[in-house]
Chain A
Amino acid sequence: MPVDETLATYSDWLYRSALGVYLFAVLLYAVEQAFARAPRRAMAGAGGPDVLTDAPKSELTKAERIGRMGAAMTVLGAVLHLGSLVMRGLSAGRAPWGNMYEYMSLLCLAAVVTWIVLMAKFPIRRLGAFVLTPILVLLFLGGTVLYAESAPVQPALRSYWLVIHVSVISISSGMLLIPGVTSILYLLKDTNSERFPKLPSADVLDRMSYRTTVLAFPLFTAGIILGAIWAEAAWGRFWGWDPKETVAFVSWVVYAAYLHARATAGWRGRRAAWINIAGFALNVFNLFFINLVTSGLHSYAGL
């Protein structure tokens, strides 16, 4: 099955345009963050409603309008991004997550979509720059250092388990990027609320982190288990402490510890936030260090 070069080229174009659009969105968010006033109303407290409706149209300040443009750009970027993945898949005639470049792309798309959903639920649009920046860095690294031509995958990866396991793992890892970032913001805000008047309240940040983690964690668990099912068919054992399996296990344990910390007196708040950050750091470590430096069974075509 030959690779359709035209579609592959379109995919690359779309990828680059998505990157450009995201970059523009970051700038818009940054402008909003810089020029917006600190929120007048108290953010949702423990008893308040979760959703703060946007202020009526007439009240929109210039900064807010720019922020809304940023949000629109984010959505546009996500659409282009999705298009690039679809074209990749069509060009190679397989699921578009067969090497690190594609995996990274899917992961970032999942993170962006999660962010878009969160923006609809929480009054946090202005944080867009903080969230999109790491995503942009990953996408940039993906498109340069990790880039691989569109091609079929090797025999071990030719399985529908690839489609299921890798997509679930990358989508959940992408979702987990968001609480990683909001936990950092939480720590900043919690350390010195005065210095960061424009960040949402620590409480909102904490709840956002928790809710996203709680959605992503079962998915991440499922992804690891699906990987084990696939490994049983492909490598002869469902678990063999391959470096990649090991780090996934470790980060799973760390996220389980996060959930426990949230239910343990004295561990809520700051410590829990640190644990969440550690979990995401482990995921990134798994993605780069384990894939690129150590050699395990997890082989990715093209890199």
Chain B
Amino acid sequence: MIAFLRNTWRGLTSMRTALTLLFLLALAAMPGALLPQLSLNAAKVDEYVAQRGWWGQLLLKLGFFEVYATPWFAAIYLLLFTSLVGCLLPRTFEYFKQMRAKPVLTPRNLSRMPHHAQAELDVTPDEALARAKKAMRGWRMETGEGTVSAERGFLRETGNLVFHFALLGLLVSFALGKMFNYEGQVIVQANGGQFCNGGIFNYDQFRPGLRVDGTDLTPFCVEIGKFSAEYLDNGQPVGYKADIRYQSGDDLVSNTWKPYTLQVNHPLRTEGDRLYLLGHGYTPTFTVTFPNGEKRTQGIQWLPTDQLTLASEGATKFDPPGVTDSETRRKSQIAVTGLLAPTPLLHGNILNSKFPALNNPMVAVDVYRGDLGVDDGRGQSIFSIDQKMVEQGRLAKVARKNLALGEEIALDDGTKVRFDAVNDWVSLQVSHDPTQGYVLAFAILIILGLGVSLTVKRRRVWVRATRLDDGRTLVEVGGLARTDQAGYGEEFTRLARAVLNEEKS
């Protein structure tokens, strides 16, 4: 049993296994790049699965659409991790042992070394060795009987260990981050809209880490002021920016607001959380004047359907005022749906947008009246009406028209719908990852360790001086690079020249 465990452990920590695991990791990560992934685009996954039939279902069951969350990916990752720990421990002991060890004794036959040179000199062996020591200043040296052995480049091992330990640290930090991070997205109206990081329900979308239940999010609030965007002539955006005010930490208690300019690439960092400006769109405001003269004004974000022109679609929904009877109420709810064109382009009556900025915006609206179906408990999209209600005849289109700002449309019962204004909205993302600082620190160590371990060469030089019968001295120099011979030649040649003083043998 012990033997089995020991053999398993040995097998797992051998370099060959590490290699195999590295390949497995590479192979296992690939589907994530080639197949749509749930975490990136769930709609695409649905489409993909639907198109492939049983094959898609199989892939779905095996986790191919969430590769990095599957047990098999985790298994490879953990095995590699174990293998790494297993090979680092003994190497660390070895490292400290070697750090104190003396350079290896001079081998008997130096001419067998990969690098070798020799000469007969008119000096005594002691003089020759002294010269050798001078040439190798800075090397770790050990003098023996008529020989010197020297070693250099131990830093390579240091770099290598730093690299592997940093890799370990990075993997651990990354995994911990996945436990305790969260990420949420929300749309907020510009010019006064507020968002507070108080709980999951304040978000439109929220992705918690495995150990996050959303009960203690970092408290902070933001208020969005003016949003501005700059575009090239072809509609390509050049820059977005939102002036915001925020409060966090003690400012929440004292109710002080601090200003900040939120831009793409310039998130707000506060209390360990980050707030990002992801994108923007438009919110048309409509006022409905009901037959009894009462007015209701609503503005809710519409969704850009064309990223280049920001043509947007949505549904602004109204409840009739002062109606207590739910039956009547459900007969007279109103939805204004259609297309918003920030810069209108008209082909006859067909409205489209030709530019993303606001220049006399227009809407093409379809007004629906009837039962919106918002009371049946199922959530419905804020961007559209429930088509089932339309199919069942419980919601009917009662008017259609293109409206410029300030224009209105009258319904058959005297209700009027006016297009008042357009406001900007911004989509924000809040991200929290307590370990990303550690990940960065380990990443930097990885580069440093790698740089050192791949550029420093561990190499040895031996010099032996032997008195010859004719009174001269035979000086031999041998060299060996521990890991890779490449590049050692120049240095060895230089050293050998210094030791042998260029005398021809």
Give me the interface of A with B, judged by CB distance under 8 Å: 44, 46-51, 151-152, 154-156, 158-159, 161, 207, 210-211, 214-215, 217-218, 221-222, 225, 228-229, 232-244, 246-247, 249-250, 253-254, 256-257, 259-264, 266-267, 290, 294, 296, 301
Asked whether A234 and B446 contact (CB < 8 A) given A51-B489, A246-B29, A257-B26, the answer is: no
- On whether the beta carbons of B16 and A242 are closer than 8 Å, the reply is no
Within 8 A of A (CB), among B424-459: 429, 431, 433, 436, 439-440, 443-444, 446-447, 450-451, 454-455
- On whether the beta carbons of A48 and B15 are closer than 8 Å, the reply is no
A residues near B183, Cβ cutoff 8 Å: 236-237
- On whether the beta carbons of B26 and A250 are closer than 8 Å, the reply is yes
Within 8 A of A (CB), among B178-193: 183
A residues near B67, Cβ cutoff 8 Å: 241
- On whether the beta carbons of A156 and B264 are closer than 8 Å, the reply is yes
- On whether the beta carbons of B32 and A246 are closer than 8 Å, the reply is yes
- On whether the beta carbons of B239 and A263 are closer than 8 Å, the reply is no
24 contacts between A and B (CB under 8 A): A47-B113, A47-B114, A47-B116, A49-B493, A50-B487, A152-B238, A155-B240, A155-B265, A207-B485, A207-B486, A221-B447, A235-B276, A238-B433, A239-B174, A241-B32, A241-B39, A242-B40, A243-B32, A246-B29, A260-B22, A263-B483, A267-B16, A296-B40, A301-B236
A250 to B30, CA, bound (A): 7
Which of B264, B444, B486 makes the CB contact (< 8 A) with A50?
B486
Chain B CB count within 10 A is highest, among A229, A236, A240, for A236
Asked whether A236 and B276 contact (CB < 8 A) given A50-B487, A257-B22, A260-B15, the answer is: yes
Report the minimum CB–CB distance from B354 to chain A (whole Å).
19
A161 to B263, CA, bound (A): 15
The count of A-to-B residue pairs whose CB atoms sit within 8 angstroms is 146
Report the minimum CB–CB distance from A138 to chain B (whole Å).
21
- On whether the beta carbons of B33 and A243 are closer than 8 Å, the reply is yes
Known pairs A155-B264, A261-B19, A264-B16 / 13 extra A-B pairs, C-beta < 8 Å: A47-B114, A49-B493, A152-B236, A155-B239, A161-B265, A217-B450, A217-B454, A228-B443, A236-B274, A240-B39, A241-B37, A263-B15, A290-B33
A residues near B37, Cβ cutoff 8 Å: 241
A residues near B236, Cβ cutoff 8 Å: 151-152, 154, 301
Asked whether A51 and B265 contact (CB < 8 A) given A232-B436, A253-B26, A256-B22, the answer is: no
A211 to B487, CA, bound (A): 8
A71 to B463, CA, bound (A): 41
A residues near B238, Cβ cutoff 8 Å: 152, 154-155, 158
- Whether B490 sits at the interface, judged by CB under 8 Å, is yes
Name the residue on A nearest B442 (C-beta): A225
- Whether B484 sits at the interface, judged by CB under 8 Å, is yes
- Whether B267 sits at the interface, judged by CB under 8 Å, is yes
Which of B15, B115, B433, B454 makes the CB contact (< 8 A) with A47?
B115
A residues near B276, Cβ cutoff 8 Å: 235-236
Report the minimum CB–CB distance from A239 to chain B (whole Å).
8
- On whether the beta carbons of A214 and B454 are closer than 8 Å, the reply is yes
- Whether B140 sits at the interface, judged by CB under 8 Å, is no
- On whether the beta carbons of B264 and A158 are closer than 8 Å, the reply is yes
Which of A44, A50, A234, A244 makes the CB contact (< 8 A) with B265?
A234
